[in-house]
Structure 1
C-alpha cells in the first residue's frame, strides 16, 4: 500500500514506470493478465483463474506483453518493475485528460 501511495504522486519516477506499460494501453487483455498474474502471486495457474482463462492463454499474453514492453516475468530483476508499473500506469491514466473533455 505504501508503494502504491508513493507511485500515485506525480514525478519522473512514476512517469517512467507508467511509460513501461504504455505499449499495452490499447491491449486491455494484456493489462488484465499482468494484473491477474501479479494478484496471483506471479503464478500462471492462479492468474488464469482470475480472468477465467486457460493457463496457456496466460502464457501467450505474458509473452505478448513481454514482447511489447521488454519486461519479462521470468527474469527476477523485472518482477519489481512488474509489481510497481501497474500502480504508476493507473495513477498516470487517472490524470490524463479524457478525449473530448
Structure 2
C-alpha cells in the first residue's frame, strides 16, 4: 500500500514506471492477466480458473506481456512489475497533474 501511495503522486519516476506498460494499453486482456496472476500469488492454474481460461492461455499471455514490455513475468523484476502497475493505474485514473511527462 505504501508503494502505491507513493507512486500515485506525479513524478518522473512514476511516469517512467507507467510507461513500461504502455505497450499493453491496447491489450487489456494482457493487463488483466498480469493483475490476476499477481493476485493469485503467481499460481497460473489459479489465475486461469479466475479468468476462466486454460492455464496455457495464461502462459501465452504472460509471454506476450514479457515480449511487449521487457518485464520478465514471472521473474526477478516482480517488484518493478508491481510498481509499474501501480504507476500505470495512477496515470490512467487521471489524477490532477498526472500523465506522461512532455518534453518541449
TM-score by length of 2: 0.86
Residue in 2 that maps onto 1:11: 11
Residue in 1 that maps onto 2:70: 70
Instruction: Figure out how many residues of one structure are paired with residues of the other and give that number.
Output: 96
SS in 2 for 1:41: coil
C-alpha distance in structure 2 between counterparts of 1:12 and 1:50, whole Å: 35
Which ranges of structure 2 fall in alignment gaps of 5 or more residues?
100-104
Give a deviation string over 1:19-74, Cα, whole Å, max 9, x none.
00000000000000000011011121121122111110000000000110001124
Q: When you count helix as a share of all residues, which structure comes out higher? A: 1
Aligned residues: CA RMSD: 1.5
C-alpha distance in structure 1 between counterparts of 2:50 and 2:91, whole Å: 25
Residue in 2 that maps onto 1:55: 55
Residue in 2 that maps onto 1:38: 38
CA contact (8 A) 2:63 2:73 kept: no
Which ranges of structure 1 fall in alignment gaps of 5 or more residues?
none
TM-score by length of 1: 0.88
Query: Where do 4+ consecutive residues of structure 1 move more than 3 Å?
Result: none
C-alpha distance in structure 1 between counterparts of 2:83 and 2:45, whole Å: 22
